[in-house]
Amino acid sequence: MQSVSFGVRNLGKFAAAGFMLFAAGCQSNDTAGVLNLGGGGGQAEQKQKVGIEELRAFCPRVQLRDGTAYYDSYTKDGKDKDGNADPTKIVYQASIGDMTRSCTYGPGTMTVNVAVAGRVVPGPAAKDGSVTLPIRIAVMRGDEVLYTQLHQYPVNITALGGASQFVFNDPNVSFPTPPDTKFVVYAGFDQGPEKKPKQAN
């Protein structure tokens, strides 16, 4: 079966576009939009065909969950036992400002090519070299996890330099084609497991 591709025409151009957005200080979400097909026939068979076409034409926007657009990295002793952070021991602060995607359908499978643009600002404890951004891509249908993958993405920073731009791309977000459009693609920084509050004695 021939696959059909929708969405962004050229994800390779997204890198340059992301840089310009950040240079202008723009913090935006994906502007590609979702295809919206109308129409429908009077017969049940025609309506069924239109429904299938609408499903295959759907390419979900990439969304950010609350608290995943920013990420602060500290030195090993940057936080105390209670989780209180020392701002003088921040290695870097990263943020996501723009996202986009394209979709391809194959036999029983959907693949989303996700791209994320952002920047990394060196902190007081920064050193020249490479830092690692924990970026997670996930696809959810209600409480059902269709896809999840944590990526450790390296970015070079300069301790005394300005912000470093980055563009991350995961072209292999593949999962069984859902029966409807009630699913969401998430991209963001993985903050790690939540620490349980200490119980009083």
pLDDT tens across 110-123, in order? 999 999 999 999 99
* pLDDT for 156: 95
Provide the pLDDT confidence category of residue 141 given band limits of 50, 70 and 90.
Answer: very high
Provide the pLDDT confidence category of residue 27 given band limits of 50, 70 and 90.
Answer: very low
* pLDDT for 48: 42
Euclidean distance between CA atoms 172 and 140, whole angstroms: 16
* pLDDT for 5: 41
Provide the pLDDT confidence category of residue 102 given band limits of 50, 70 and 90.
Answer: very high
Return the top range by mean pLDDT from 31-35, 85-89, 143-147: 143-147
* pLDDT for 6: 40
* pLDDT for 9: 41
Euclidean distance between CA atoms 176 and 92, whole angstroms: 37
Provide the pLDDT confidence category of residue 10 given band limits of 50, 70 and 90.
Answer: very low
| Mean pLDDT to the nearest integer, 185-201 | 68
For all residues of the chain together, what is the average pLDDT? 76
Q: What is the pLDDT of residues 168-177, one digit of tens each?
A: 999 999 999 9
| Mean pLDDT to the nearest integer, 35-42 | 34
Exposure of 152 by Cβ count < 10 A (0-12 exposed, 13-18 middle, 19+ buried)? exposed
